[in-house]
Amino acid sequence: MDLGNIFVLVFILFFVAVSIVITWLTTQSTKSTADFYVAGKGVPWIQTGIAMVGSYLSAASFLGCPGDVAIYGIDRIWLSIGFFGGYMAVLLLIAGPLRNVGSYTVADAIYRRFPDRRIKLLVMLTTLIISTFYLVPQMLGAGLLFQEIMGWDFLLVTVLLGVLMSIYVIFGGMKATLYNQVVQAIFLWAAMVFIAVFALFMFADGSFATMFAKAAEAVPPSIAGKNPAAVTAAAAATNASAAVQAVRAIMPEAASAMTIGVQTPNLLAQISTVIALLFGTAGLPHILIMFYTVRSAKAARKSVTLCIVALGIFYLCAIFLGFLMLPGVYPKLVAWMADPAYVGKARNLAVLVASENLGGKFLMALSAAGAVAAILSTAAGLMITAASTISHDLYKAFINKNATEKQEITIAKVTTLVMTAISVGLAVLLKNENVAWLVALAFGIAASAIFPVMLCNLWWRRFTRQGALAGMASGLVVSVFFIILLLTGTKTFLGLSTAGGPGVFGVTISFVVLAVVSFMTKDRGEKVDEFMALAHKEQND
């Protein structure tokens, strides 16, 4: 085992040890359903805010965002900006009132105004689809990452990760999940900031102007990799800067990494993508249920604000790191993009290679551990969300209405095990597929099926039960329809580009349907005034 592998192993063992200690400490205080689902609703806003950072930052953010910018150039900064921007909708429109009216699951907040079990069923179904779409790429990413850099067995890694997550979700519930997410969030956030700042000084003399100037000189590896002469020239260069110049000499007219509009398919695709990221965040069940863990609406807003500031710094660093990798590891990026076997993996491996160039095996191990922290924290959040919705919205609402708290928690624990098995199974099954786009689709579904209904539920007095059902169903159907179109390789539908996913179509149709149906029907909820007063009351935390 080489030095890098030993460092990675030390970091992983650190996370395992922390998880075990936290789980042991929280097991005794996790007894009721409120403890298991929402950590007793008494978590300090700082803790929830940091945990939210961990829950939101997946491997796609830690490795994918900088990797995309390094390989494709400036157009890909929108992945980072979109991930960040979503929290503005959460803070301004959702967080406070949702905390006031919800109890355990996303469905609760809508069910409180419209006590209709069909709503619970629909939200549960949507939550499960989103959680699965989000979870599988996390497990698959972890397996591939360790297979690639450490030579570890794919199945073993995914199973071990699944077991570790299951242990702390099953025994410690939301409390253990939150504490683990705090540790993981601090680790991965600090790792990203450290690597980006270090890279700025090592690759661009500590100057942003130099960083942009070097990026403006470079032909994006995605373009250079298609030119055999450029690939040869990059490989023969003595260092990354020389490689950038050599490739530019061969391709003088090619776009640079700072040329805008090269990688964006078209206007509609761009709008659809950013709409999905903006509104999808405000509809992600594993983020929304975290607001139930704090004491009040004010505390929920404070936790989101902390999260937004931390995410802003993180994503700015991710964008800068992307540009910095051009003068840092350019020949490697070009070589990967020339090799069909590496095209799909390059965006995830770029940060690791850049880290190794910067600080040797130790920094590479730090990056790999940051990615694992991102995967663990996101996957655990998804796991507990799926467990809550099955036990609370399905078992308690449909199968056993008189279920005791103990029975409900048992079902949640069994669901956690089943979800782990399913996600590991799907990860193994789809091992050779590029499924990173499933996360983007999860955002599309959340934006289309949950956000419009949740927004109107919390703010619109004229909104009706029928409008909620119709809006949610139409958003879900449009999203799923788009997934089918994308799976079958359909590029256009009714003359419209499908490249940006379901975002703009699902959101628009859901809003239109719910508005039309609400104006045609009258059931606004028996206690709508009471509901609105509760949703918007202010509390001192």
Partner 1 sequence: MTDAPDSATATPATIRKKALLFFSLFAVFFVFYLGTAIIQTPECRHIAAIPFLGMPLGLFLSLAIFPVSWILIAIFFVKGK
Strand partners, 222: none
Q: Does 239 bind partner 1 (CB under 8 A)?
A: no
Please state the closest distance from residue 308 (CB atom) to partner 1, in A: 6
Candidates 295, 345, 361, 431: give the one binding partner 1 (CB under 8 A). Answer: 295
Please state the closest distance from residue 446 (CB atom) to partner 1, in A: 17
Per rule CB under 8 A, count of chain residues that contact partner 1: 51
Provide the 3-class DSSP secondary structure of residue 492: strand
Q: Which CB, 362 or 459, lies closer to partner 1?
A: 459
Q: Does 538 bind partner 1 (CB under 8 A)?
A: yes
Q: Which CB, 18 or 46, lies closer to partner 1?
A: 46
Q: Does 104 bind partner 1 (CB under 8 A)?
A: no
Q: Does 539 bind partner 1 (CB under 8 A)?
A: yes
Contact (Cβ atoms closer than 8 angstroms) between residue 506 and residue 449? yes
Provide the 3-class DSSP secondary structure of residue 392: helix
Q: Which CB, 123 or 319, lies closer to partner 1?
A: 319
Candidates 35, 68, 75, 108: give the one binding partner 1 (CB under 8 A). Answer: 75
Candidates 5, 27, 241, 305: give the one binding partner 1 (CB under 8 A). Answer: 305
Residues 6+ away with beta carbon under 8 Å from 387: 169, 412, 413, 415, 416, 419
Q: Does 32 bind partner 1 (CB under 8 A)?
A: no
Both structure tokens of 355: 């880290």
DSSP H or E segment with residue 496: strand 496-497
Q: Does 443 bind partner 1 (CB under 8 A)?
A: no
Q: Which CB, 422 or 534, lies closer to partner 1?
A: 534
Candidates 14, 212, 342, 481: give the one binding partner 1 (CB under 8 A). Answer: 212
Q: How many CB atoms lie within 10 A of CB 382?
A: 29
Both structure tokens of 216: 């403006």
Residue with tokens 């029975």: 407
- 246-275 residues near partner 1, rule: CB under 8 A: 258-261, 264, 266-267, 270-271, 274-275
For residues 152 and 154, what is the distance between their CA atoms, to the nearest angstrom?
A: 6
Q: Does 198 bind partner 1 (CB under 8 A)?
A: no
Contact (Cβ atoms closer than 8 angstroms) between residue 38 and residue 300? no
Q: Does 234 bind partner 1 (CB under 8 A)?
A: no
- 80-99 residues near partner 1, rule: CB under 8 A: 81, 84-85, 88-89, 91-93
Please state the closest distance from residue 65 (CB atom) to partner 1, in A: 13
For residues 357 and 250, what is the distance between their CA atoms, to the nearest angstrom?
A: 26
Give the type of residue at 315: Y
Terminal alpha carbon distance of the chain: 51
- 307-326 residues near partner 1, rule: CB under 8 A: 308-309, 312, 315-316, 319
Please state the closest distance from residue 426 (CB atom) to partner 1, in A: 32
Contacts 24+ apart (CB under 8 A), 436-440: 436/60, 436/64, 436/137, 436/141, 437/486, 438/133, 438/134, 438/136, 438/137, 439/58, 439/60, 439/133, 439/134, 439/137, 440/273, 440/276, 440/501
Both structure tokens of 345: 């993996």
- 124-153 residues near partner 1, rule: CB under 8 A: none
Q: Does 527 bind partner 1 (CB under 8 A)?
A: no
Q: Does 293 bind partner 1 (CB under 8 A)?
A: no
Residue ranges that bind partner 1, judged by CB under 8 A: 41-42, 44, 74-75, 77-78, 81, 84-85, 88-89, 91-93, 209, 212, 258-261, 264, 266-267, 270-271, 274-275, 278, 295-296, 301, 305, 308-309, 312, 315-316, 319, 459, 529, 532-541
